[in-house]
Structure 1
Amino acid sequence: MDEEMHEPKDNKSIPMTSITSGSGEEAANDVFYYTDQIVNIGFIGYPEEREWVLVDAGLPHSAENIMETAEKRFGTQQPPLAIVLTHGHFDHVGGLVDLVQEWDVPVYAHQLELPYLTGEQSYPEPDPSVEGGMLAKISRIYPNEPVNLGRAVQPLPEDNSVPGMEGWQWIHTPGHTPGHVSFYRKHDGMLLSGDAFITVRQDSFYNVLMQTSEVNGPPRYLTTDWEKAKTSVEKLAQLNPETVVPGHGTWMRGEALREGLSHLAQTFDQTAKPDYGRYVDGHDYH
């Protein structure tokens, strides 16, 4: 195993949770997600076939829960074919080092996300000054140092295919981070949106706790390019997805999803983009 790997320097537990924490939902026969406090982790594959892919890796110290969930779903001694990442923020890579050390499987992310996954570059700090609720105000406590996966991480294929996920494609949806991607399966309109858009207002403590379901833009306190974020939402709305499993919030499907996503795309500047904040109105990403 790669001896270069190590956790972020500021790896720590975060005091946030929701009523769905520790539970799982099946959005399709081969699409299951587990909620780790406030973030969703995807398990893609049919349980009876026992070949699957993990999408994202939760908050710090989540590896044990992820492995237990995988064992219940796919049986013992069934590591995934791969781990694929929507992006590398702390709440999506928290269990990665332990999982890779245990499973010895490859990790894939967009080329532009690799510096934040190989210890080369830290993300911009969260913005507690941004317009929003309490979880935005306390965001200065959230980790932003990079994980270092060394040679275990590699870029997603240039042909937009997703390793181990036949029929899926990755779609570059930057804005929340430079290399953010979403995963889409055309034949049934299934979308894993990551944080490109989510189904809970992530800066509101009450909405996160209760998992109040509504289509929202990306988390405000960690989104650094609002023009690209808007374009990404418009791109995903054009897909007219049937079902979404977001990075945060509950899964949605049908008319409620399509109407909510269309409205978000049409009103993004008014409803998603904050009125003020460090990264609003052309502030430089770095």
Structure 2
Amino acid sequence: MEYGKDYKKIPALSTASGSTYEAAPGVLVKTVQIANVFLIQDLMVKDSWFLVDAGMPGSADAIISFSEEVLPKGVIPKAIILTHGHFDHVGAIIELVQKWNIPVYAHQLEIPYLTGKKDYPEGSTLPEGIMAKLSPYYPNESINLGEHVSELPPDGTIPFLRGWRWLHTPGHTEGHISLFREEDRVMIAGDAFVTVRQESLYHVLIQDKEIHGPPQYFTFEWEKAKDSVIKLQELKPSVSITGHGKAMEGAELEDGLRELVLRWEEIAVPDRRQNM
């Protein structure tokens, strides 16, 4: 296994970095710098937990400590589920696989980016905001997990995890997925939409809650991204946790998603006139 040649730590922080909280029963959230990782539980099986996403580069120790602090003694995640393969969601995955010797699952269309076959586009400087302007310096080369990564089953199930299903929510990446627990309508949206203005250093630092589309600097298929948000909105989630920002629930979430869809071009899509 190996990371891309451009793999490096990114010196970005937020006021939420290091925080841990329970967003819903059996859904634990850890913020590492500016990205979230999740431990989710199969509520029908004692001590059956799964890690969703693998954080920022260099975050392995923080994620391992998170697991050891919140899970029963001796319990480790049964697998890692990736919403997608961007650097801030796979930053510690090789160390975690080596530590725990567990499988990784991702959408079929994301596998080339996780097996060294296909690189993501470089970040776009088109959006306003310092985080966007720095995006060409973010890692975009594929990592190679070799035989340690497998395709998720096409029927929406997740191996060994009951009560949850995955949904294909492309736009931010080809094989982006979100997770949904039907019983209580809990959603992990990944970066299909986020709850902080990710392009702005100020908003990333203070982590104020506001629903936005996927991070603009790494999103290139905006019509698909909108269709994915509509798909998630139609599920009427009670709680949603995203790859960046704090959990949102209830009327705040419902109203925010409706506003995002209605004003998609204004809220989500970067203004292309800036480069004209």
Partner in structure 1 of residue 92 of structure 2: 95
* Structure 1 runs (4+) greater than 4 angstroms displaced: none
State the aligned residue count: 274
What one-letter code is carried by the residue in structure 2 that aligns with 1:238?
Answer: E
Is the contact made by 2:42 and 2:161 (CA closer than 8 Å) also made in structure 1? Answer: no
Partner in structure 1 of residue 8 of structure 2: 12
> SS in structure 2 opposite 1:183?
strand
Is the contact made by 1:29 and 1:46 (CA closer than 8 Å) also made in structure 2? Answer: no
Alpha-carbon offset, residue 29 of structure 1: 2.3
Q: Does 1:236 align with 2:254?
A: no
Is the contact made by 1:175 and 1:229 (CA closer than 8 Å) also made in structure 2? Answer: yes
> SS in structure 1 opposite 2:37?
strand
Partner in structure 1 of residue 180 of structure 2: 184
Q: Does 1:70 align with 2:67?
A: yes
Query: Residues 275 and 53 (structure 1 numbering): CA distance in 2 closer, same or farther, change over 3 Å?
Result: same
Give the TM-score normalised by structure 1: 0.93
**Once the two structures are aligned, what percentage of the paired residues are identical?**
49
What one-letter code is carried by the residue in structure 1 that aligns with 2:189?
Answer: S
CA offset digits 1:124-177 (Å, max 9, x no partner): 11112x122111011111000111000000100111012233111100000000
Is the contact made by 1:127 and 1:277 (CA closer than 8 Å) also made in structure 2? Answer: no
What one-letter code is carried by the residue in structure 1 that aligns with 2:108?
Answer: Q
> SS in structure 2 opposite 1:93?
coil
Pairing 1:126-275 to 2, within 5 Å after superposition:
126-128=123-125, 130-275=126-271
Is the contact made by 2:39 and 2:49 (CA closer than 8 Å) also made in structure 1? Answer: yes
1:61 to 49, 53, 58: 58
Tell me how far apart the structure 2 counterparts of residues 76 and 150 of structure 1 sit (CA, whole Å): 30
Alpha-carbon offset, residue 238 of structure 1: 0.8
Partner in structure 1 of residue 116 of structure 2: 119
**RMSD (CA atoms):** 1.7
Q: Does 1:82 align with 2:79?
A: yes
What one-letter code is carried by the residue in structure 2 that aligns with 1:68?
Answer: S
Alpha-carbon offset, residue 76 of structure 1: 3.7
Is the contact made by 2:42 and 2:162 (CA closer than 8 Å) also made in structure 1? Answer: no
Query: Residues 80 and 91 (structure 1 numbering): CA distance in 2 closer, same or farther, change over 3 Å?
Result: same
> Unmatched 5+ residue regions in structure 2?
none
Tell me how far apart the structure 2 counterparts of residues 150 and 277 of structure 1 sit (CA, whole Å): 42
Tell me how far apart the structure 2 counterparts of residues 62 and 245 of structure 1 sit (CA, whole Å): 20
Tell me how far apart the structure 1 counterparts of residues 228 and 111 of structure 2 sit (CA, whole Å): 20
> SS in structure 1 opposite 2:88?
helix
CA offset digits 1:179-238 (Å, max 9, x no partner): 000001111110000000000000011110000101110000000111100111111111
After TM superposition, the structure 1 stretch with the greater mean CA deviation from structure 2, 105-114 or 20-29, is 20-29
CA offset digits 1:235-262 (Å, max 9, x no partner): 1111111000100000010000001001
